[in-house]
Structure 1
Amino acid sequence: MKKVFNIGGVSFNSVIHLDEFPNPIPTTIHHCKFKETVGNTGAGKAVTLAKLGFDVTFHSLIGDDIYAEKIKLYLDQPNLKFIHDIDLNGTERHLNLMNKKGERISIFMNPMTDEPNIEYNKFDEVIKKSDFVVVNVSNYCRNVLPVCKSHHITIWTDLHDYDGHSEYHQDFIAASDYIFLSSDNLKDYKIFMKKMIDRGKKLVVCTHGRKGATLLSQNGWIEVSAIKNYKVKDTNGAGDAFFSGFLYGFAKGCSLEKCMQYGTISGGLCIQSDFIASESLSSEILEQEYLKFYTK
């Protein structure tokens, strides 16, 4: 089993599904689909990677509260070790408004502390023993980047809906070797991807939701289409699932095109689930779906 250290991003979320986002006027919505569930980018990757057979150590901040207990219960899964520090502000909580297109408005009701009192060198051993290190863009995680660099560790990161300018993301961009992001707020994503490769990044992957995904490496461009057979139930976690499926193929030594195809399948399975990771996901399921869609 390949070992992954994945740091940053867990929350307990309220998710409301609407046909359309409400207009910016006072109104009353009488009926909606509603749930409360574990979310956030670190948790999405941790659970999906564990289901795909990686040995995952996941660190995040949680409060000393009932929401933290719900998170710990959900993360008590095979192949997944959850380690945490206490956030004195309480567990991070989001309110996610989802429309029928799968688009999201996310409101951080209680964000995690930006600069918690953590001794980052305590991660030395798990970082050095890991085959892959994933640093998510939670603010506190930027302080683990120098620790990784001191051990000459290759860093993977996910910039999500980066707009091409945000100062918040720059430390993560500078330190990372493998970059994932979405094109939601970056219409000139190919320019950004080319700039990253020119700066020496190993590869950059940009996802486009229903329009598939794009990869650029030193060997050129790869485009993959989304799989239309997967019907949208909830898009939360889809980007993290794509990342995890890609890493599954990468760890097996697959071609970059096949890694992108694994990512596409993993993301597709995720959007059919009510949770941040498909309940039925496994490496066996991923391989079965690969045979179904990519072999003749």
Structure 2
Amino acid sequence: MSRGVDVLVLGGAGVDTIVQVPELPLPYADSYMIDSGIRARAGQTGDFVALGLSALGLRTHHLDLIGDDPEGDLVRALHRDRGIALTAVPQPAGTKRAVNLVGPDGRRLSLYDTSRTRAADRLPVPVVRALAESSRHVHVCITQPCADMLPVLREAGVTVSTDLHNWDGHNPYHEPFAHAADVVFLSAAALTDPERTMRRIAERGRAEAVVATAGAEGAYLLAGGELTRVPAVTPPAPVVDSNGAGDAFAAAFLFGRLSGEPPQRCALYGAVAGAHACTVPATRTDALARDELLSRVDGLESSPAFSR
């Protein structure tokens, strides 16, 4: 079967309104003056993964529910301008949106508008099946209603990845995604015992690799039954925003995997891309290009301080 798409990204399209605040948590006050401006830009988790994959030279297709509204126009324009194929399924409730409060140290607090999703939302099965069958890999965001597509993807015989984000290891909503994916990404932020959670994912599901990112502490990689630490990579410029770092890590890891690289090198790709993402202001959607990623990885591997 011809695979005309390298990666199909399901879900996670939307718009963030960025507010740069003087500190987090933000103390109560009647008002704040935001000198940097309050800006809306397209780019939520699925958009960022698609951008990262495309920048690395992978043929990428993104599918999600998107409204006929100003936010939807921003999402469509982003994909059009970056040359990323987009299948926009009409969403009467409107395009997903959020407000991100970003502190001076790059940390963020996200406020998600849940009124723009409905329990009855569905992706069109024939469209998803056809795209999956023409793809080498599918990355599934945990936005509703992507869980319903997991059996369809299994029937299509395509490998799957997902990002559980700040899962606590117990919320049952995340479990179908965790157990259906060949590669599982998550943040270690809410985990009391990352190794235990990672091994449980592998034991109960089909994951060949589980990655838990830990910010400035690097990441944990579970592959072939062995848990290893992935050292953090020093960002090439000052850290200004952590938004999108996990998505950049996932995109670069998948690039390595689809290029036939071993898990440890895939994780190094992810660490480099994630560090780069932390230097990109929240109002922009820049992604690390393939040549720059490989150049930085080569530089790290040739450094006397580098160790596997």
Under a length normalisation based on structure 1, what TM-score does the superposition of the two structures give?
0.93
C-alpha deviation, 1:250, in angstroms: 1.1
- After TM superposition, the structure 1 = structure 2 runs for residues 117-196 of structure 1, keeping only pairs within 5 Å, are 117-196=122-201
In structure 2, the residue corresponding to 1:75 is in which secondary structure?
helix
Q: Which position in structure 1 is the counterpart of 2:10?
A: 7
C-alpha deviation, 1:274, in angstroms: 2.4
Q: Which position in structure 2 is the counterpart of 1:260?
A: 267
C-alpha deviation, 1:221, in angstroms: 1.8
Contact map agreement 2:52 2:287 (CA 8 A) in 1: no
Q: Which position in structure 2 is the counterpart of 1:46?
A: 50
CA distance in 1, matches of 2:295, 2:5: 21
Query: Could you list the runs of 5+ residues in structure 2 that have no partner in the other structure?
Result: 304-308
Query: CA separation of 1:98/1:292 partners in 2, compared to 1, >3 Å: closer, same or farther?
Result: same
Query: CA separation of 1:193/1:81 partners in 2, compared to 1, >3 Å: closer, same or farther?
Result: same
- Identify the match of residue 197 of structure 1 among 195, 202, 208: 202
CA distance in 2, matches of 1:276, 1:184: 24
> Quick check: 1:214 aligned with 2:220?
yes
Q: Which position in structure 2 is the counterpart of 1:17?
A: 20
CA distance in 1, matches of 2:296, 2:66: 35
Q: Which position in structure 2 is the counterpart of 1:75?
A: 79
CA distance in 2, matches of 1:3, 1:152: 14
Report the more deviating stretch, 63-72 or 217-226: 217-226
In structure 1, the residue corresponding to 2:241 is in which secondary structure?
coil
> Quick check: 1:233 aligned with 2:236?
no
CA distance in 2, matches of 1:38, 1:145: 26
Report the more deviating stretch, 13-22 or 41-50: 13-22
CA distance in 2, matches of 1:148, 1:101: 39
C-alpha deviation, 1:23, in angstroms: 4.7
CA distance in 2, matches of 1:103, 1:9: 20
Code of the residue aligned with 1:35 in structure 2: it is R
Contact map agreement 2:209 2:263 (CA 8 A) in 1: no
> Quick check: 1:97 aligned with 2:104?
no
CA distance in 2, matches of 1:239, 1:49: 13
- Identify the match of residue 254 of structure 2 among 218, 238, 247: 247
Code of the residue aligned with 1:201 in structure 2: it is A
Under a length normalisation based on structure 2, what TM-score does the superposition of the two structures give?
0.89
Query: CA separation of 1:295/1:278 partners in 2, compared to 1, >3 Å: closer, same or farther?
Result: farther
Aligned length: 296
Report the more deviating stretch, 57-66 or 271-280: 271-280
Contact map agreement 1:11 1:93 (CA 8 A) in 2: yes
CA distance in 2, matches of 1:118, 1:280: 28
